[in-house]
């Protein structure tokens, strides 16, 4: 069985560790074979230099947590075809963790719910980032845009689709480790900033239910995390200016970076933003990848 696991954008500025969406056409592939030997065996990885031992691999950790818990009488051999670069900020580790549990679920007689799958995928995410957050693995499994409303117990809401939104992803070739990008964040925040951020997240959610474009645009802002992380990303403020000059409606760090996401109501705005941003990085001698995408309504799926 071969599956596709989409790349994802986490945080979306106003929902740190809570909001995320799945991307269309950007993602990894994984192949599953049922084995009589129990547990996960990783038999092949292409596209990146990652550990083959299951206990050191996010797919192995997530898959084994699930297989052990449900006392499966079979195991799986997994091949991983990485297309999402590790440390890029568009959910590379999450795609492998979510893909592993999604794939195993397809082999069960009584499949688990998306919520239960997310819980197991978070175990893999913890290996990569040192923290069990679900803002990448949830949209990777559910598709669309998801909101984590609680971690203990885990609660996830699938938000209404934003069908007329186009997404640009810019990935400058520097590596930012999620663990390190989390360590630089302050442990406490000023009350005024907490209020502002709550208003942004509430405004974002309300805008989706009402499809209020103006409220949507005003709400995708980050006063809590971006001020601390943006210095990790070269030319961040210049790229933001380019996004505004090209009529894009939102711009920010994708997950823990270095990728940046940009949203627009027209594909032409995204394409000209990407072309100008790529040119800026190239003029400064930095390699960069760019993708023009949309929000995918589908998470992991069999291909
Ligand atoms: N919410 C996470 C963070 C996403 O920003 O640290 C990265 O995996």
Contacts of residue 125, Cβ cutoff 8 Å, sequence gap at least 6? 58, 62, 93, 94, 97, 131, 132, 133, 134, 136, 137
Unique residue bearing structure tokens 């009529």: 247
- Which residues are marked as active site? 125, 178
What DSSP state is assigned to residue 85? P
Angstrom CA distances, 82 to 95, 132, 183, stand at 9, 22, 27
Specify the DSSP element, H or E, that contains 216.
Answer: helix 213-219
pLDDT tens-digit series, residues 168-196? 999 999 988 888 899 999 999 999 999 99
From start to end of the chain, where are the E strands?
A: 2-10, 19-35, 39-46, 75-81, 145-151, 154-159, 166-172, 250-253, 260-264, 288-294, 301-302
pLDDT tens-digit series, residues 20-36? 999 999 999 999 999 99
- Give the Cα-Cα-Cα angle 126, 128, 129 (nearest 5 degrees): 65
Q: Which domains does the chain have, with CATH numbers?
A: 2-159+298-302 (3.30.230.10), 166-294 (3.30.70.890)
pLDDT score at 238: 98
Query: What is the b/e burial string over 47-65, where b = at least 16 CB atoms within 10 angstroms of the residue's CB?
Result: ebebeeebeebbbbbbbbb
Average pLDDT over all residues of the chain = 96
Pocket test for ligand 1, best of 8, 96, 129 (most atoms within 8 A of CB): 129
Say if residue 18's pLDDT is above 90: yes
Q: How many helices (H) and strands (E) does the chain have?
A: 10, 11
Distance 72 CA to ligand 1 centre (A): 31
Length in residues, the chain = 303
pTM above threshold 0.85: yes
d(CA 65, CA 194): 35
**Residue 163 banded pLDDT, cuts 50, 70, 90:** confident
Pocket test for ligand 1, best of 131, 197, 256 (most atoms within 8 A of CB): 256
**Residue 136 banded pLDDT, cuts 50, 70, 90:** very high
Distance 154 CA to ligand 1 centre (A): 17
């Amino acid at each position: 069985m071969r599956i596709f696991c989409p790349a994802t954008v986490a945080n979306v500025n106003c929902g740190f560790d809570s909001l995320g969406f799945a991307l269309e056409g950007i993602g990894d592939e994984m192949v599953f074979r049922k084995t009589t030997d129990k547990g996960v065996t990783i038999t092949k990885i292409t596209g990146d230099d990652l550990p083959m031992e299951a206990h050191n691999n996010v797919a192995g950790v997530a898959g084994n947590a699930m297989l052990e818990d449900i006392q499966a009488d079979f195991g799986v051999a997994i091949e991983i075809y990485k297309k999402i670069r590790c440390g890029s900020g568009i959910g590379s580790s999450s795609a492998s963790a979510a893909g592993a549990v999604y794939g195993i679920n397809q082999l069960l007689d009584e499949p688990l719910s998306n919520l239960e799958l997310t819980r197991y995928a978070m175990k893999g995410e913890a290996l990569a980032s040192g923290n069990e957050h679900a803002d990448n693995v949830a949209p990777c499994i559910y598709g669309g845009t998801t909101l984590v409303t609680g971690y203990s117990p885990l609660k996830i809401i699938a938000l209404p689709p934003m069908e007329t939104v186009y997404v640009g992803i810019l990935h400058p070739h520097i590596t930012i480790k999620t663990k390190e990008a989390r360590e630089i964040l302050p442990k406490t925040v000023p009350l005024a900033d907490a209020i502002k951020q709550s208003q942004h997240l509430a405004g974002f959610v309300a805008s989706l239910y009402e499809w209020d474009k103006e409220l949507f645009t005003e709400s995708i802002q980050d006063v809590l995390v971006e001020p601390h992380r943006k210095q990790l990303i070269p030319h961040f403020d210049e790229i933001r200016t380019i996004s505004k000059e090209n009529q894009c409606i939102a711009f920010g760090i994708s997950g823990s970076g270095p990728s940046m996401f940009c949203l627009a109501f027209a594909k032409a705005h995204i394409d000209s933003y990407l072309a100008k941003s790529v040119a800026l990085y190239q003029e400064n001698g930095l390699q960069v990848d760019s993708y023009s995408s949309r929000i995918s309504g589908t998470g992991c799926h069999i291909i």
